[in-house]
């Protein structure tokens, strides 16, 4: 019926919040500038991706990396409250696409039957709480948050492959934004936002 998104908001933005926090902490404590070391930055970002999921089940999350720069081992810890404070601006943006999708669909919050969260970023407890507060319903997790995304990507690749054959089915798509053609006098609307179009898996139309 509708869909909306924030192209500049995702799980990696929460990783970056943690990255900046720990990078500043390690620089102050060990005089190690992580930003100037590509290998150290990659390792710290990988660790931060794991750390962001921990406060959902625990009050605090530890981080430990051996030999981050040279022979320096680094350790840090962040509490759930600290993480949520650092991510406060990002959390405020989480509900904006939900609000837009509801408006475009013409539905009210009370008409939603169920809400499913997918993607690794959905494991952040603060995101779940924000959505629960806005949608007035506890989101469900009947699917594996990361695996279902990978399966969806694999299925999409199979649909586009010239060699693989998938089961015959129909998918209804809609344009997520308006498509216009600019002319010297005015812009001509070709497809308004939300215009439907379909694709069949068997014939590629």
175 Cβ contact list (under 8 Å, min separation 6): 191, 192, 193, 194, 195, 197
CA–CA gap between residue 190 and residue 194 (Å, rounded): 12
Burial class, 171, CB count within 10 angstroms (exposed 0-12 / middle 13-18 / buried 19+): exposed
Residue 44 pLDDT exceeds 90: yes
* DSSP character at residue 83: H
Residue 200 pLDDT exceeds 60: no
CA–CA gap between residue 68 and residue 46 (Å, rounded): 12
Q: Over the stretch 56-69, which tens digit does the pLDDT of each residue have?
A: 677 888 999 998 88
CA–CA gap between residue 107 and residue 88 (Å, rounded): 28
Domains of the chain and CATH, by start = 11-86 (3.90.640.10), 169-205 (no CATH)
* Model pLDDT, residue 205: 45
CA 161 to each of CA 129, 151, 156, 158: distance values in angstroms, whole numbers, following the listed order: 40, 15, 9, 5
CA–CA gap between residue 153 and residue 196 (Å, rounded): 21
Q: Over the stretch 93-137, which tens digit does the pLDDT of each residue have?
A: 999 999 988 998 899 999 999 998 887 777 788 888 899 999 998
Task: Supply 149's token pair.
Answer: 């995304």
Q: Which of 14-18, 50-54, 188-192 has the highest mean pLDDT?
A: 14-18
* Model pLDDT, residue 39: 92
CA–CA gap between residue 30 and residue 74 (Å, rounded): 8
């Amino acid at each position: 019926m509708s869909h909306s998104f924030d192209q500049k908001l995702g799980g990696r933005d929460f990783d970056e919040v943690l990255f900046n926090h720990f990078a500043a902490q390690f620089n102050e404590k060990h005089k190690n500038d992580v930003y100037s070391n590509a290998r150290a930055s990659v390792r710290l970002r990988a660790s931060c991706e794991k750390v962001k999921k921990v406060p959902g089940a625990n009050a605090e999350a530890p981080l430990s990396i051996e030999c981050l720069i040279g022979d320096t081992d680094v350790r840090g810890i962040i509490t759930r409250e600290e993480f949520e404070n650092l991510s406060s601006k990002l959390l405020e943006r989480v509900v904006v696409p939900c609000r837009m999708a509801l408006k475009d669909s013409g539905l009210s919050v009370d008409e939603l039957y169920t809400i499913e969260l997918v993607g690794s970023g959905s494991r952040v407890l603060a995101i779940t709480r924000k959505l629960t507060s806005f949608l007035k319903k506890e989101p469900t997790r009947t699917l594996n948050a990361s695996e279902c995304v990978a399966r969806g990507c694999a299925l999409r690749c199979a649909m586009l492959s010239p060699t693989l054959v998938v089961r015959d089915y129909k998918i209804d798509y809609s344009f997520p934004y308006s498509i216009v053609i600019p002319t010297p006098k005015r812009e001509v609307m070709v497809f308004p936002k939300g215009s439907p179009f379909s694709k069949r898996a068997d014939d590629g139309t």
